[in-house]
A and B are shown apart, each in its own frame.
Chain A
Amino acid sequence: MFLVRAILLPAMLLHAQTKTLRIAAAADLQPVLPSLIHNFEKSSGAKVEVSYASSATLATQILNGAPYDIFLAANLAFPQKIVAANLAEESAPIIYAHGSLVLWAHHGLFHHGLTMQSLTSPTVHRIAVANPVHAPYGAAAMAAIQSLGLKSALQPKLVFAENIAQAAQFGQSGNADCALISKTLAITKTMHQAGRFVAVPVGAYPPILQGGVVLRNAADKQTALDFLHYLQSPAGRNLLATGGLVPPAQ
């Protein structure tokens, strides 16, 4: 009996906690959201739980009934699917940030002049990108490779990660020499210690517009809307910018 209670009690406590906000967030937000959530929890009194995955993984989960309150994607297409399925509060996703794609390379590979063209060098064996089907940053990386005319040269070197955080991990662990990842991940301490990065030329890939929606079935709609407003507030915009995203023009 004691054991049963010990196992069930945490679940019962969670139920009793009325204001728990569940966020489904794209993997590029993994280094950015914690500070935003910390501040939001302090000011609102709500408790926030986040699940990180590729935007497509989260969209599939939501379309199949996953109980999230907010969906923060790394593009507009996936939240638009949620809107189209009549599962969103909004009639269109809210753009909360613009993302930047960067080229990250292991320390010691290129001492100067790291560019996208460097990737054709024979010293680069493996380049990690996120799966373009699941992950908007992966799609942007493939678009950049294509538009810079590097596709045939780089194709044999590409390895595909399930999401952008895994692409960064492939690079950080040394299994890949370079990675095309989000700026949010490249500026983290871990990635900074293992390598360096340069921005991929902005014109080389379509803009990464990161959209979010509050879900129609949200348990606490008001808190969810409050969080989305907080992301757009001056304090929220500041933290997004510190994390490597560009808040949209007001």
Chain B
Amino acid sequence: MDTVALLLTLRLALVTTVILLLIAVPLACWLAFTGSRAKVFVQAVCALPIVLPPTVLGFYLLVALGPRTAFGRALTHLLGHPLAFSFAGLVVGSVIYSLPFAVQPLVTGFAAVDRSMLDAATTLGSGRWDRIRRVVLPLSRGSLLTASVLSFAHTVGEFGVVLMIGGNLPGATRTLSIALYDQVQDFQYAQANRTALFLLAICLVALMLLYSLRPESRPRSSDLV
């Protein structure tokens, strides 16, 4: 087992999950409670990574955010290196790639919060962010857990984007899924088998954890897509 790749994969999944929660909670709040016409558009954009080939994302990250465009050059200047071939690049890719897996369970959870509770809080003088912090979030613990576990597991399972922008650097961009690909190409089937089994186990355990901690709500199809 490639422990460097394993640690990198876990680090990438963890960093991605934390960043995603920071982005997805306000985004999901807006989606759950807004009456704006832009909602459909934002919902569609958030769900895009589910249906879009990872190669589309890889292409844009590599070319549009690469040193050949003005924006890419500014980014390169800011980071001190191009987005490609770096851990930061993988984080950006993973955050976009796993976004729907964080946003959608949260929207479902937030929308299910009893409106009368929110009205009561308003009557008691609670402001908008206060209502979210003290009513919506505590009542959506299950959805927060679902969002975290799915974001984490989906990032562990990332491959196409990493293959396109990673550059296969040990400790920086060679994740377990890439290490497995290399082992298969190198005809090291015994090693590949160990890596594949390990990835299978991580993902299975993550999903079992999710379902065992949320027995009250049968997995809704809307949580998974």
Seen from chain A, the residues whose Cβ lies within 8 Å of a Cβ on chain B are 54, 56-57, 60, 81, 125-126, 128, 131, 133-134, 159-162, 169-170, 173-176
B66 x A173 contact (CB < 8 A): yes
Residue of B nearest to A175 (CB): B84
Q: List 16 A-B contacts (CB under 8 A).
A: A60-B185, A126-B85, A126-B167, A131-B168, A131-B185, A133-B185, A134-B185, A159-B167, A160-B167, A160-B168, A160-B169, A162-B163, A173-B62, A174-B66, A174-B72, A174-B82
Give the docked Cα–Cα distance between A176 and B83 (Å): 11
Q: Name the residue among A56, A126, A170, A174 with the largest chain B CB count within 10 angstroms.
A: A174
Query: CB of B157 within 8 A of chain A?
Result: no
Q: How many A-B residue pairs have CB under 8 A?
A: 54
Query: CB of B184 within 8 A of chain A?
Result: yes
Please, what's the 1-or-0 string for B62-80, where 1 marks a CB less than 8 Å from any CB in chain A?
A: 1100111000100000000
Query: CB of B182 within 8 A of chain A?
Result: yes
Residue of A nearest to B69 (CB): A174
Query: CB of B187 within 8 A of chain A?
Result: yes
B68 x A174 contact (CB < 8 A): yes
Query: CB of B81 within 8 A of chain A?
Result: yes
A170 x B167 contact (CB < 8 A): yes
A159 x B66 contact (CB < 8 A): no
How many B residues face the partner with a CB closer than 8 A? 19
Residues of the A chain whose Cβ atoms lie less than 8 Å from the Cβ of B66: 173-175
B63 x A173 contact (CB < 8 A): yes
Please, what's the 1-or-0 string for B179-216, where 1 marks a CB less than 8 Å from any CB in chain A?
A: 00010111100000000000000000000000000000
A56 x B186 contact (CB < 8 A): yes
B67 x A175 contact (CB < 8 A): yes
A131 x B169 contact (CB < 8 A): no
B185 x A174 contact (CB < 8 A): no
B85 x A159 contact (CB < 8 A): yes
Give the docked Cα–Cα distance between A54 and B187 (Å): 14
5 closest cross-chain pairs (CB), A and B: A159-B167, A160-B168, A174-B67, A175-B84, A56-B185
